[in-house]
C-alpha cells in the first residue's frame, strides 16, 4: 500500500489527514518542516507528498521546488487561501493537485487515491546516476564528492550489479597495476566510499563485502 508523507505544522489538521488516510489503508509519516521533509524524502521516499504552503521554515512552494530537483513524487498542496495565483504557481512548480482549507479529509483521501491511480505504479528513479562527461555520480539525488579512484571504483561496481569483483579486478578498473601490492588500498577506498554513501543514506549498504572474494554492488540494498 502506498505511503504518504504529510508536511503540515498544524497538528489538528495533520491528525484529521492521518486518520482519513489510514482509514483508506495508506501508511503515513507526519513532519512539520519543509527541510525535514526534503531530508526524509531522500532517505525513505514516500509515494505521495501532501504539502502545506505555510510552513515554519521554508514555504511549501520552496519545498516543492527543491523536491523537484531529485524527485518526481506526486505532490498535493494544502493552502489556507483560495487564490487563483496560488493555484497557478502551485501547478507550475510541479504540484499534482491542490486543496484549500478547510477541506474534507475524506475528499483529500479520495484525491490521493485518484492521483496515485493516475501516475500508476511508482517507478523509482535510478538510485545512482553516472555522468561520465563530468565524472560525477549522483546518489539519491545528491552529487557525491569523489576522488578519481573512488569514482572509477564505484562506476565499475555500478555498471555490473551483483557481480563480485576481486581486489585485483577493482585495481585494474581504477588503473593501478595489480602486481604492485596495492590490493589493500582498495579496502581503504571502499571504506571512504561507504562513509560518503552513508552521509546520504545512513541505513543503506549498496556496497557488499564478500569475505575472501571482494566487493559487489547490490541494488537491493541501495
Task: Please report, as ranges, the residues that interact with Ca ion according to CB under 5 A.
Answer: 9, 52, 54
| Shorter beta-carbon distance to Ca ion: residue 51 or 157 | 51
Smallest gap from residue 144 Cβ to Ca ion (A) = 34
Smallest gap from residue 11 Cβ to Ca ion (A) = 11
| Shorter beta-carbon distance to Ca ion: residue 9 or 24 | 9
Smallest gap from residue 52 Cβ to Ca ion (A) = 4
Please calculate the CA angle 203-208-214 and round it to the nearest 5 degrees: 155
Q: What DSSP state is assigned to residue 141?
A: T
Cα distances (angstroms) measured from residue 79 to each of 9, 50, 103, 185, 203: 12, 11, 10, 54, 34
Smallest gap from residue 86 Cβ to Ca ion (A) = 13
| Cα–Cα dist 215/186, whole Å | 10
Q: Which residue is nearest to Ca ion (CB)?
A: 54
| Shorter beta-carbon distance to Ca ion: residue 51 or 146 | 51
Order of all β-strands in the sheet with 75-79: 27-31, 3-7, 48-52, 75-79, 97-100
| Shorter beta-carbon distance to Ca ion: residue 9 or 205 | 9
Amino acid at each position: 500500500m502506498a505511503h504518504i508523507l504529510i508536511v503540515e505544522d498544524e497538528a489538528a489538521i495533520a491528525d484529521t489527514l492521518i486518520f482519513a488516510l489510514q482509514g483508506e489503508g495508506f501508511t503515513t509519516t507526519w513532519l512539520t518542516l519543509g527541510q525535514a521533509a526534503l531530508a526524509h524524502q531522500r532517505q525513505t521516499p514516500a509515494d505521495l507528498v501532501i504539502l502545506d504552503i505555510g510552513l515554519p521554515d521554508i514555504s511549501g512552494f520552496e519545498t516543492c521546488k527543491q523536491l523537484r530537483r531529485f524527485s518526481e513524487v506526486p505532490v498535493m498542496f494544502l493552502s489556507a487561501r483560495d487564490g487563483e495565483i496560488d493555484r497557478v504557481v502551485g501547478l507550475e512548480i510541479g504540484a499534482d493537485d491542490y486543496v484549500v482549507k478547510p477541506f474534507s479529509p475524506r475528499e483529500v483521501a479520495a484525491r490521493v487515491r485518484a492521483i496515485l491511480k493516475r501516475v500508476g505504479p511508482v517507478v523509482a528513479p535510478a538510485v545512482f546516476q553516472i555522468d561520465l562527461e563530468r565524472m560525477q555520480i549522483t546518489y539519491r539525488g545528491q552529487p557525491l564528492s569523489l576522488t578519481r579512484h573512488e569514482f572509477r571504483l564505484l562506476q565499475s561496481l555500478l555498471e555490473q550489479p551483483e557481480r563480485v569483483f576481486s581486489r585485483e579486478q577493482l585495481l585494474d578498473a581504477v588503473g593501478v597495476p595489480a602486481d604492485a601490492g596495492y590490493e589493500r588500498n582498495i579496502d581503504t577506498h571502499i571504506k571512504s566510499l561507504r562513509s560518503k554513501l552513508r552521509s546520504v543514506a545512513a541505513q543503506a549498504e549498496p556496497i557488499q563485502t564478500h569475505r575472501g572474494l571482494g566487493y559487489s554492488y547490490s541494488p537491493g540494498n541501495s
